[in-house]
Structure 1
Amino acid sequence: MSTEAAKNDFTEGSEHHEDRSPVDLDKSPVLPEDDAKITWKTKMALLALILMYESYLFTLLMPAAVLTYIDADLGPDARYPWITICWNLGAAIIVSVGGRLSDIAGRRWFLMAGAISAAIGALIGATGQSINQMIASGIIFGIGGGFQEMCFACAQELVPNKSRFQTLGVMILANHFSSIAPLLSYVFIAYSKIGWRACYWWCFAWEVVTAIMLFFFYHPPTFETIHQDDRKTKWQLIKEIDYVGLVLFTAGCLLLLLGLNWGNGIHPWDSAWVIGPIVVGFVCFIVLGFWEIYAPLSYPMLPPHLFKQWRRFTAFLVVCFVAGMGYYALSVIWPRQSGLLWVPADQVILRGVWANFISFGTMVAGWYCAGLMPWIKHEKWQLVGCIVIQTSLIGSMASVGITDKAQAIGTVIAIASVNLPPSPLSFGMVSLHLNDQTDIGIGVGLISTFRLIGGAIATAIYTSLQTSEFGKVLPGHVQSAAEESGYAGSIHDLIQAARVNTPAAYSALEGVTNSTIAAVQQAVLLSNSKSYQLVYLVAIAFGCVAICASLSVKSIDGSQRSTDIAARLETEKRDTTEG
């Protein structure tokens, strides 16, 4: 965007801010149309970032798909869900912390650290001999994943502003391969000699290739380039980093997410293990807000001028928070729901196919993001449309019963296809609304953090609701089944057997018949169906909040679709100098 256009367009928060970073949007390279083309070197850097995004998705999806098999092999251990919970913990924190630090110090080695960390996590997972080792693998995966999710900010700053949505669309389209990760995981289990460990070796191979590609092709502005105007040394920068903000932000996210996950079946919701971390986490965020506003900081962890801009920034956090509630919670809820209601436990590949229906929806979303999203423009109304359609479809899921297989499959695929686009739309709109492009790492990073936290909160809320509702409706359905089948034994014992719902549990009952077992198993299915219907009804309320937030965001205008490029690769600069 030109200097004059940037000044005219920036109607919110246009006053000077003490926490502005040293390089302003006005100093980003403004090039003629012919010189703003995406070069071969930039395309190779973008390819490295796309591979990194694929690697990131594999480390997210594959361990989650094989969790029960890991526990069966190395357990049993009630802590096994923490293998993937730790991924969310680490990624939610690191993506914003890493984004802010890379805004200040340069991005190259942060991304390299992400790929190397994830490769180490994959290696530990592939050779793990205990659940503790697998949890350690998940922690390292989360740290690596947090750095890798910075790819959306990194890619946008390398291309002309007018090409940002197209670039984001191509990145989303490219995840077709990783979209089959759940199904591929079940194929490894069914046909590989090493079973679930093949998933970790697969992730390791992808991370190694990613690290090599980043090393050779990704050369963003260095520390010296970023600070060529203010001429700050690395030691000066180290002294000016907002360490208090970093600690408060990290502690707040960590405690909040720990409390939510501890309350998800590990400890009662009213226990000190749950209430304590959540309360202290919120206190950390409150203190962080006051610190960021009133402390004299050169590089605040959370630049206050961003949060003052509701239409240009904060509303997008709300939208992506709810989008995360849909995406990550559905990724947890749907495989379990489909497995309980429609897929026999002994049909491993079929379970993988059903679990992969969400990914089939993301494939549809990829084609939309690459082909239609940049062409349609009017990003605000695309955002509103996706949220409205998603909320309506969630209402459809609330009516799905035991016999409604086709409706469930079609609706889940449709939800996934409209759930993903709000993220690249928000990434692009927020990046173009930034008056200072050196805030792109923290701006886009916070969207990712809110999306991940939204997913963690939704997973805790929805699984707790489902479990609670199932417990409430099951006794009534079991009693009706017992009466219809003529069961004369203890109803209490029959209900307890239904909660376990295994042949061994039923065979231990006196006087039970095959007809009673069949009727009770049907009652269990009906109870599960009713409990999931409640989850989707609650999700509608969150969707309405997102609709309101999306209606309030500021649109992108023509002046923002310029040929400006926020950052040039160092290798391209050298070519220009030598030429």
Structure 2
Amino acid sequence: MARPVTVAAEQSTPAVPEVRHRGAFLALMCSVQFILLVGGTVVVVSLPAIRADLDLAPAQLQWVLTAFSLTFGCLLLLGGRSADVFGRRRLFLAGLFVFTLGSLLCAVASDAGLLIAARAFAGIGAAMASPAAMSLLTTVFVTPRERSSALGAWAAIGAFGATLGNVIGGVLTDMGGWRWIFLVNVPVCLVAFVVAFSVVPAIRPEHRQRLDARGGLLITLGVAALIVGLAELQVHGPAPRTWASLAAAAVLVGLFVVAQARGADPLLPLGIFRHRTSFGFLFVLLTAGVGIGAYFTASLFMQETLGWSALRAGFAFVPWAATVAITARVVSRTTHRVGPRLVVPLGLVLCATGAALLALGLDSSTGYAGGLLAPFLLLGLGSGAINVTCTVTALSGIPGHRHGVGAGALNSTQALGSTLSIAVVAVLTTLATQRALDGGGSLVGSTLAGQRFAMLVVAGVALTGAVLAAIVLPRRLPRPAAADEDVLLARPPAAPLP
């Protein structure tokens, strides 16, 4: 049995670390998050060029795309907890270095195996740096207004990073070749690495904490099996290999939950989920699923039905990303006053309306301005408002010395929602398409019918979530405690569950 790794505190953490250049610190954290998110999506448009240069088989090409997201999604929770135990600045710098090295190895890879391994290695670095950066933000910005504003900037930059990856990848591939999509990360990350030494505070663990190695292994393998199972579901449908992966994921996650309930110093304390603020995790997952489901469907529609290039489709999503960014910044300034019970249901209603309008606009004669722009803007308004509100809500119920694992849990939840949504939407579209074909419909018409059906289901899920959010979320956010107390021992920061 693996023993937990123990790290002693070197010094106590002050309530608010002293940061002389808070603006530069915020810009650095958001810029690194932007680079990490671009690193996950930048390869999509460049896949044809990579396949031609390295002579890749279809299965190898798929792994070039998924290797990064697999290691990134699997290790987020462990990376976040490691930041709490070993020090957030230390993990941030280590993760940034690993990501930079992985990007360099991708740029010089000479065959499929090296490229896939380098992509996976870069994903490990991103899983270390991303939750460490978010927990650093919440440690430096502690008042409700400051924290909401900082997380609003984080969400805004994240929206652009996730969306502009395709655009950046297409431009760099056209200008200098596919290797530049990885090589450009190296000087940028090196500059960020140097700047971090002067603006990122050296925050030491305040408590003597242990890294639950057994829990980390269980959740890493469980999430890996879940991601593989969902990918299999998307490609092969409900085949035996799909059910085997999903069953293994259920067993491993179940064992993880049991281990966390019995452990003295668990990787993810289950006590953080006994307050209303923990519903923020649920609505992060739901919003990621709604947004990515619509993004996935619209992307296929623009490229397969309208015949657009991947680069043109990427540019079409820019107004969506801009709306998310602007909305997140605006809402972040009022979240601490308005409260999640009002913002989240309204945001989900906007998302439901956007998904329904998108379903109605899926037609071979649809134009961008007349059929797609309005749904994209509504989805951007809704998801931008929800993401920052739910992030602040979820973290408000977690003690400061566990914000690393809290950030990892949030990022894992978002990644899981995205992966689950793509798999479910793909299956729903396939089933509805086949039903239309069996009824005598044409291939194009049946495919559009399947996509419409999937989008209407997404709209229904969003509306159901809006009703649930109005019931379970707290009216107001709790103010961060003056002392960093453990939620397992403290009074509930918000009204407890009935």
Give the TM-score taking structure 1 as reference length.
Answer: 0.74
Q: For 2:43, what is the secondary structure of its paired residue?
A: helix
- Determine whether 1:166 maps to 2:155: no
- Determine whether 1:357 maps to 2:316: yes
Query: Aligned in 2, Cα 1:188/1:22: closer, same or farther, shift over 3 Å?
Result: closer
Q: Quick check: 2:80–2:405 contact (8 Å CA) kept in 1?
A: yes
- Determine whether 1:458 maps to 2:442: no
Name which one, 1 or 2, has greater alpha-carbon Rg: 1
Q: Which aligned pairs between 1:447-526 and structure 2 lie closer than 5 A?
A: 447-474=410-437, 523-526=442-445
- Determine whether 1:531 maps to 2:450: yes
Could you say which residue in structure 2 is the equivalent of 1:300? 266
Q: Quick check: 1:62–1:182 contact (8 Å CA) kept in 2?
A: yes
- Determine whether 1:403 maps to 2:327: no
| Structure 1 residue corresponding to 2:393, chosen from 429, 433, 436 | 429
| Structure 2 residue corresponding to 1:262, chosen from 227, 232, 235 | 232
Cα shift readout 1:53-108 (whole Å, capped 9, x = no counterpart)? 11112102211232343234434422222223222222222221111121122111
Q: Quick check: 2:281–2:394 contact (8 Å CA) kept in 1?
A: no
Amino acid corresponding to residue 403 of structure 1 in structure 2: S
Alignment partners' CA distance in 2, 1:420 and 1:287? 35
Q: For 1:221, what is the secondary structure of its paired residue?
A: coil
By how many angstroms is 1:447 displaced?
Answer: 1.8
| Structure 1 residue corresponding to 2:351, chosen from 382, 386, 390 | 390
By how many angstroms is 1:331 displaced?
Answer: 4.1
Alignment partners' CA distance in 2, 1:71 and 1:86? 16
Query: Aligned in 2, Cα 1:92/1:379: closer, same or farther, shift over 3 Å?
Result: farther
Could you say which residue in structure 2 is the equivalent of 1:504? none
Alignment partners' CA distance in 2, 1:442 and 1:529? 41
Could you say which residue in structure 2 is the equivalent of 1:95? 76
Q: Which aligned pairs between 1:97-116 and structure 2 lie closer than 5 A?
A: 97-116=78-97
Query: Aligned in 2, Cα 1:111/1:327: closer, same or farther, shift over 3 Å?
Result: farther
Amino acid corresponding to residue 239 of structure 2 in structure 1: D
Alignment partners' CA distance in 1, 2:431 and 2:462? 22
Could you say which residue in structure 2 is the equivalent of 1:188? 172
Could you say which residue in structure 2 is the equivalent of 1:45? 25
| Structure 2 residue corresponding to 1:379, chosen from 339, 347, 353 | 339
Amino acid corresponding to residue 365 of structure 1 in structure 2: V
Q: Quick check: 1:94–1:146 contact (8 Å CA) kept in 2?
A: yes
Q: Quick check: 1:108–1:219 contact (8 Å CA) kept in 2?
A: yes
Alignment partners' CA distance in 2, 1:138 and 1:330? 27
Alignment partners' CA distance in 2, 1:396 and 1:331? 13
Q: For 2:203, what is the secondary structure of its paired residue?
A: coil
Could you say which residue in structure 2 is the equivalent of 1:217? 199
* More deviation, 90-99/464-473: 464-473
Alignment partners' CA distance in 2, 1:369 and 1:219? 26
Could you say which residue in structure 1 is the equivalent of 2:301? 337
Alignment partners' CA distance in 2, 1:565 and 1:293? 25
Query: Aligned in 2, Cα 1:182/1:456: closer, same or farther, shift over 3 Å?
Result: same
Q: For 1:269, what is the secondary structure of its paired residue?
A: coil
Could you say which residue in structure 2 is the equivalent of 1:145? 126
- Determine whether 1:131 maps to 2:115: no
* More deviation, 139-148/413-422: 413-422
By how many angstroms is 1:30 displaced?
Answer: 6.1
Q: Quick check: 1:71–1:131 contact (8 Å CA) kept in 2?
A: no
Could you say which residue in structure 1 is the equivalent of 2:325? 366
Alignment partners' CA distance in 2, 1:378 and 1:70? 48
Could you say which residue in structure 2 is the equivalent of 1:245? 215
Cα shift readout 1:460-498 (whole Å, capped 9, x = no counterpart)? 1212332343344346556xxxxxxxxxxxxxxxxxxxx
Alignment partners' CA distance in 1, 2:193 and 2:463? 41
Alignment partners' CA distance in 2, 1:367 and 1:268? 38
Q: How many residues align?
A: 467
For the aligned residue pairs, the C-alpha RMSD in angstroms reads: 2.9
Alignment partners' CA distance in 2, 1:175 and 1:282? 30
By how many angstroms is 1:167 displaced?
Answer: 1.0
Alignment partners' CA distance in 1, 2:402 and 2:461? 29
By how many angstroms is 1:255 displaced?
Answer: 0.9
Alignment partners' CA distance in 2, 1:336 and 1:144? 30
Q: Quick check: 1:92–1:449 contact (8 Å CA) kept in 2?
A: yes
Structure 1 unaligned regions, length at least 5? 1-20, 479-522, 567-579
Could you say which residue in structure 2 is the equivalent of 1:554? 474
* More deviation, 325-334/42-51: 325-334
Q: Where in structure 1 do 4 or more consecutive aligned residues deviate above 6 Å? A: none
Q: Quick check: 2:339–2:474 contact (8 Å CA) kept in 1?
A: no
* More deviation, 199-208/334-343: 199-208
Alignment partners' CA distance in 2, 1:117 and 1:332? 30
Could you say which residue in structure 2 is the equivalent of 1:70? 50
Q: Quick check: 2:42–2:165 contact (8 Å CA) kept in 1?
A: yes
- Determine whether 1:438 maps to 2:401: yes
Alignment partners' CA distance in 1, 2:302 and 2:114? 30
Alignment partners' CA distance in 2, 1:176 and 1:534? 26
Structure 2 unaligned regions, length at least 5? 1-6, 485-498
Q: Quick check: 1:161–1:432 contact (8 Å CA) kept in 2?
A: no
Q: Quick check: 2:155–2:387 contact (8 Å CA) kept in 1?
A: no
Could you say which residue in structure 1 is the equivalent of 2:41? 61
By how many angstroms is 1:22 displaced?
Answer: 11
Amino acid corresponding to residue 29 of structure 2 in structure 1: L
Query: Aligned in 2, Cα 1:373/1:221: closer, same or farther, shift over 3 Å?
Result: closer
Q: Quick check: 1:338–1:354 contact (8 Å CA) kept in 2?
A: yes
Q: For 1:383, what is the secondary structure of its paired residue?
A: helix
Q: Quick check: 1:63–1:84 contact (8 Å CA) kept in 2?
A: yes
Q: Quick check: 1:359–1:416 contact (8 Å CA) kept in 2?
A: no
Amino acid corresponding to residue 366 of structure 1 in structure 2: A
Query: Aligned in 2, Cα 1:73/1:548: closer, same or farther, shift over 3 Å?
Result: farther
By how many angstroms is 1:254 displaced?
Answer: 0.9
Alignment partners' CA distance in 2, 1:561 and 1:247? 32
Q: Quick check: 2:74–2:220 contact (8 Å CA) kept in 1?
A: yes
Q: Quick check: 2:19–2:201 contact (8 Å CA) kept in 1?
A: no
- Determine whether 1:328 maps to 2:328: no
